[in-house]
Chain A
């Protein structure tokens, strides 16, 4: 009886302090700016599964380090292939895909949004791929190439800046710059579309603008003659 009383009074004493801490924590959490996300350091090793493993296997198959089919499961065969890749590329051959091996494979491990530039020409490809991903990832493949082609058509046109970055970062030119979606990591499809456009494929044949007729509000844009429609985008 006595001990339970002691317990009660202890709870009574602790409770306000506890509540105070909780409340302070709640207010604190709600009020601080939420920009302190922590980049997780990930590795791939035997036993790992998922889309990244599949991408890695596909790369290893394409480069001849691995045979068979990419199944997304990091098994002993995949480990052997990774060790083979590491040996051939002057990396520590431990069969674990950490930051360095991933970098050598051109693979992204964690969910952070930074991307490796790795040379001037691939910077251009990367930037273009990020616009494609930010603007048109839900569009048909040809529509994605068309978006990249519009960027390149602007670079060639006298009415716009003369570099890929100048065109992309021109104020108000692309929604994905304004809403930050350009900073997302592009998927393989977007990279392929950007590469196809850099290689000269332009499904729009010279278009300089595009918009989504369902969401566009700019009268100036809507007044332009549409030359091609692909997916949700009208190109003009």
Chain B
């Protein structure tokens, strides 16, 4: 009995001890967890603070680097504008062709510096756009004049006066930049919420005033007004309707299985067009018909799954060329000749040019793109033809191809052929074209009247972008 009692007491004791132990364990667990959480929160937050601090530091460092980029652009722009102004003033009084030439090159270089620096800033503002246009044209104009002076024709009185007037425009630049510079005083920078960058475009507002104008720079060059406002001389005929455009399109593409032709609207860019979506031989295509005359000016089949169409084989060149000529003829491009063709990425691009009195008219190119061993036309571009094609008044060459060949410095691998080539955008020159080979392929053009080198093109055979000349 006593034994039993003892056992009972023992059991009770054990239970009590167990309860106590359990509650101790529970307390330890809670305390441990709380301490653990606190410790981890401290560790975690320290790490977080450390990284947050580091992020702010990185952010500030990036901001300073961006500031440096803008400061550099700004100071380069000032230097360019100042140099332009000074050189233009000097040109107004210079009488020596050597000095004139050297200073014109300096204006060109200063304008390039200004152009590059201005290009670093935001463009969506009329003032900036016109300021950019001015430096581009000024650089281009000075370069054209420098070349002319080098060819033995010094500046005329009228040109010197014009250059002096242009110096006044350069001073508008200087004014804008000086005014803007005031915002950079007292340690202000470009970046940040109140950064001066936000007000940069406003500084050029003078350029966007309706009465702001500068003397017209008349010259042949890529940025000349003559080139930017060029006329469509290659398209004759009357305006057609969209319905007639669709009929013509079906007729042009009669060799292909055309379906789902849908008129999707007009294009009112430099060449007014009617635009169509269609399906040609099962692939989606896009075509543009000129409103005036109804010429197919652009056609492109989109074969995004390259495997769905057979690639052009290496030996498909002649087939490509014949089919390109046949397609062009069907569209009404007559007297065309293949001047250049290349294949890459399973496509073959054939460049065709009209021939007049045996002279290739390079400004009037029509490009045809083909696939499937050269039998399927998948693209056409006749923009150059539309802009430029007309009956030319051609000069009579004063030297023969043989004489022109004497003026080449590297060996020719082709006979010379007569070609009218575009020079500096608007001018055309009658030349003999020679394909030459020396550590690469070159096309050298010799002036058919003077015998001088008129242009050199170098052929780049590049895996990614295909073969092209530069």
Contacts and interface: CB of A to CB of B under 8 A. Distances in A.
Interface stretch (B48-56, B82-90, B94-102, B391-399): B48-56
A125 B466 CA distance: 10
Contacts of A166: 116, 119
A122 B465 contact: yes
Contacts of A198: 465
B402 interface: no
Nearest to B305: A58
Interface in B418-470: 460, 462-466, 468, 470
Contact of B129 (A5, A159, A207, A218): A159
A201 to B, nearest CB: 5
Contacts of B346: 62
Nearest to A209: B124
Interface stretch (B153-161, B244-252, B265-273): B265-273
Nearest to B386: A205
Interface-central residue, A162, A166, A198, A226, by most chain B CB under 10 Å:
A162
Interface stretch (A9-17, A41-49, A80-88): A9-17
A159 to B, nearest CB: 4
A24 B304 CA distance: 50
B348 to A, nearest CB: 12
Interface-central residue, B44, B45, B48, B122, by most chain A CB under 10 Å:
B44
A228 B267 contact: yes
B304 A141 contact: yes
A27 B235 CA distance: 70
Interface-central residue, A54, A126, A199, by most chain B CB under 10 Å:
A199
Contacts of A70: 307
A58 B307 contact: yes
B292 interface: no
Contacts of B39: 20
Given A126-B464, A171-B122, A12 B48 contact: no
Interface-central residue, B29, B133, B223, B267, by most chain A CB under 10 Å:
B267
Q: Do most interface residues of chain A lie in helix, strand or loop, or is the interface mixed?
A: helix
A221 interface: yes
B268 A228 contact: yes
Given A15-B29, A106-B463, A188 B123 contact: no
Contacts of B21: 5
B130 interface: yes
B381 A201 contact: yes
B47 interface: yes
A17 B43 CA distance: 13
Contact of A142 (B33, B266, B300): B300
A196 interface: yes
A189 interface: yes
B181 interface: no
Given A122-B465, A170-B119, A24 B44 contact: yes
B132 A23 contact: no
Interface string B8-48: 00000000000001000100110011011101110111011
B317 to A, nearest CB: 15
A24 B43 contact: yes
Contacts, number: 210
B142 interface: no
B421 to A, nearest CB: 16
Contact of B462 (A122, A158, A192, A225): A122
B124 A221 contact: yes
A189 B300 CA distance: 13
A17 B40 CA distance: 9
A28 B273 CA distance: 60
Contacts of B143: none
Nearest to A195: B465
Contacts of A202: 269, 383
A100 interface: no
Contact of A23 (B44, B133, B137, B284): B44
A5 to B, nearest CB: 8
Nearest to B45: A27
B374 to A, nearest CB: 14
B115 interface: yes
A170 B39 CA distance: 50
A207 B269 contact: yes
15 contacts: A12-B28, A15-B32, A22-B40, A24-B47, A30-B48, A121-B468, A122-B462, A142-B302, A170-B121, A170-B123, A195-B345, A203-B267, A204-B267, A207-B269, A218-B124
Interface of A: 5, 8-9, 12-13, 15-17, 19-24, 26-28, 30-33, 54, 57-58, 61-62, 64, 69-70, 106, 118-119, 121-122, 124-126, 140-142, 145, 156-162, 166, 170-173, 188-189, 191-192, 195-196, 198-207, 218, 220-221, 225-229, 235
Closest 9 CB pairs of A and B: A27-B44, A205-B269, A16-B36, A122-B464, A161-B119, A31-B48, A20-B40, A16-B32, A158-B223
Given A159-B123, A201-B381, A228-B275, 18 more contacts: A20-B37, A20-B39, A20-B40, A22-B40, A28-B48, A31-B48, A33-B54, A119-B464, A141-B302, A158-B137, A158-B140, A158-B223, A159-B133, A160-B123, A189-B304, A203-B275, A206-B269, A227-B268
